[in-house]
């Protein structure tokens, strides 16, 4: 069609861009020379360099999936009330760096007036790490942005205050691939029924060996259905993991009612105090109930406040539970402990209590 299409441009394989060109000059001047920091108030970090330089950082929550108008609004605030340099945290909070303390209050005011909550530092509930969901993924069991928005509306006070025993980090995942990662609380899709196979699609779409190989429990085998090559699933073996769905869309794992939400607790990636841990099942089979997911919110709230009221300073969720015992965790949160909490996967035995230690 156009000249460009006829003669495409060769990409400049420039790779990861140079961060120094965008970095606040005070940060650039003090690379590796920082001495200490404190937090004058929630949402504000104050770093002091060995050179005597100081920098104030104001952190605010965003919706992550941002329209250009929102981004430009954040830029306007950055130009008017800060010094034109920003960064994002791994949890999609925006940070403004300013070299003068007196800039902090007006900046906070401008952000809050524009609807961006200031907080997420220290012992708070920071923004939920966020996946794609119905908005943009090809395999989601639920939405991501809507779940995050609903939970952050509920936890707004805990984002804008540092009242938790330690930081509390929540993640969501809208399928069992779990892009969202590990968290103190993880809100993840949990499939509850084996995939329904759309046989008409299989013959056309599916790479059968790839699908058979994907199943972690060898539940899928080639089969002839209505005289056409297709697949069948041994429903007794199937663990409803959904692994077969991404390579083979006819393996329909999602169902309007069968796709549920499970909540996991006690994951942590920091090495501080205890070693990093994976999160563990707290409750499964909660309904996938847009637009507010009230049943999920209810359980998250119970867990957040049980932790807030009972944990000691600096204990993360998992460390708190480790101390008080799972017995007491289920008691304090009012959740049920079932046979499904007993691990059955490879290595399950290592998760059992191989001792005479018990909690009453």
| φ and ψ of 196, to 5 deg | -90, 130
For tokens 């606040």, the residue is 24
Specify whether the backbone of 258 is left (phi greater than 0), alpha (psi in -120 to 50) or beta. Answer: alpha
For tokens 């999920």, the residue is 296
| Partner that binds at residue 274, options ligand HEM, other proteins, ligand SF4, none, CB closer than 5 to 8 Å by kind | other proteins
User: At its nearest, how many Å lie between ligand SF4 and the CB of residue 272?
Assistant: 7
Question: How many other C-beta atoms are found inside a 10 Å radius of the C-beta of residue 256?
Answer: 6
Q: Does 31 bind other proteins (CB under 8 A)?
A: yes
Tokens for 143, please give them. Answer: 């939405």
3-state secondary structure of 14: coil
Question: How many whole angstroms from its chain centre is CA 46?
Answer: 27
Contacts of 156 (CB under 8 A, 6+ apart): 117
**Pick 306 or 315: Cβ nearer other proteins:** 315
What's the CA gap between 314 and 242, in Å, rounded? 37
User: At its nearest, how many Å lie between other proteins and the CB of residue 350?
Assistant: 11
Contacts of 316 (CB under 8 A, 6+ apart): 166, 167, 168, 184, 266, 268, 270, 273, 274
Binding-site size for other proteins (CB under 8 A) equals: 121
Which span sits near other proteins by CB under 8 A: 54-62, 225-233, 301-309, 322-330? 54-62
User: At its nearest, how many Å lie between ligand SF4 and the CB of residue 158?
Assistant: 21
The residues that touch ligand SF4, with contacts defined as CB under 6 A, are 131-133, 137, 139-140, 173-175, 177-179, 194-195, 214-215, 217, 219-220, 233, 238-244, 251, 253
Q: Angle 247-251-257 (CA atoms, 0-180°, nearest 5)?
A: 125
Q: Does 52 bind other proteins (CB under 8 A)?
A: no
| Partner that binds at residue 334, options ligand SF4, other proteins, ligand HEM, none, CB closer than 5 to 8 Å by kind | none
Question: Which helix (H) or strand (E) covers residue 330, if one does?
Answer: helix 326-333
Residue 186: C-alpha distances to residues 33, 169, 199, 276 (Å): 36, 9, 34, 15
Yes or no: say if 288 and 261 are a contact pair by the CB < 8 Å rule. Answer: yes
Question: Of 127-156, which residues contact other proteins (CB under 8 A)?
Answer: 129-143, 145-146, 149-150, 152-153, 156
Among 229, 278, 305, 340, binds other proteins (CB under 8 A): 278
Question: Of 240-259, which residues contact ligand HEM (CB under 6 A)?
Answer: none
User: At its nearest, how many Å lie between ligand SF4 and the CB of residue 235?
Assistant: 8
Question: Of 44-73, which residues contact ligand HEM (CB under 6 A)?
Answer: none
User: At its nearest, how many Å lie between ligand HEM and the CB of residue 63?
Assistant: 45
| Partner that binds at residue 222, options other proteins, ligand SF4, ligand HEM, none, CB closer than 5 to 8 Å by kind | ligand HEM
Binding-site size for ligand HEM (CB under 6 A) equals: 4
Binding mask 212-241 for ligand HEM (x = CB under 6 A): x-----x--xx-------------------
My answer on whether omega of the bond before 267 falls inside 30° of 0, hence cis, is no
| φ and ψ of 44, to 5 deg | -125, 130
Which span sits near other proteins by CB under 8 A: 190-198, 225-233, 333-341, 344-352? 344-352
User: At its nearest, how many Å lie between ligand SF4 and the CB of residue 4?
Assistant: 32
């Amino acid at each position: 069609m156009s000249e460009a299409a006829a003669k495409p441009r060769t990409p400049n394989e420039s790779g990861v861009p140079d961060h120094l060109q965008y970095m606040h000059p005070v940060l650039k001047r003090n690379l590796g020379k920082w001495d200490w920091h404190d937090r004058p108030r929630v949402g504000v970090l104050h770093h002091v360099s060995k050179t005597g330089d100081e920098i104030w950082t104001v952190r605010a929550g965003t919706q992550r999936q941002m329209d250009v108008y929102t981004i430009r609004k954040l830029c306007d605030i950055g130009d008017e009330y800060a010094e034109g340099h920003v960064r994002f945290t791994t949890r999609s909070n925006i940070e403004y760096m300013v070299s003068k303390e007196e800039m902090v209050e007006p900046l906070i005011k401008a952000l809050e007036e524009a609807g961006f909550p200031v907080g997420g530092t220290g012992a708070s509930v920071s923004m939920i790490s966020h996946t794609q969901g119905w908005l943009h993924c090809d395999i989601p069991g639920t939405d991501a942005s809507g779940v995050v928005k609903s939970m952050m509306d509920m936890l707004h006070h805990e984002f804008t205050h540092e009242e938790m025993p330690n930081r509390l980090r929540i993640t969501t995942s809208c399928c069992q691939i779990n892009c969202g990662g590990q968290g103190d609380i993880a809100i993840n899709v949990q499939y509850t029924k084996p995939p329904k196979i759309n046989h008409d699609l299989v013959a056309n779409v599916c790479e059968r060996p790839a699908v058979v190989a994907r199943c972690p429990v060898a539940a899928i085998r080639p089969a002839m259905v209505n005289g056409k090559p297709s697949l069948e699933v041994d429903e007794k073996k199937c663990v409803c993991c959904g692994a077969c769905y991404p390579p083979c869309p006819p393996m329909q794992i999602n169902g309007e009612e069968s796709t549920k939400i499970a909540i996991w607790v006690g994951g942590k990636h920091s090495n501080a105090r205890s070693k990093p841990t994976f999160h563990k099942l707290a409750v499964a089979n909660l309904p996938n109930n847009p637009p507010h997911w009230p049943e999920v919110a209810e359980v998250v709230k119970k867990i957040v406040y049980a932790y807030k009221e009972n944990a000691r300073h600096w204990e993360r969720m998992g460390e708190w539970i480790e101390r008080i015992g799972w017995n007491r965790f289920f008691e304090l949160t009012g959740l049920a402990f079932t046979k499904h909490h007993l691990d059955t996967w490879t290595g399950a035995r290592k998760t059992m209590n191989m001792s005479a230690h018990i909690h009453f």
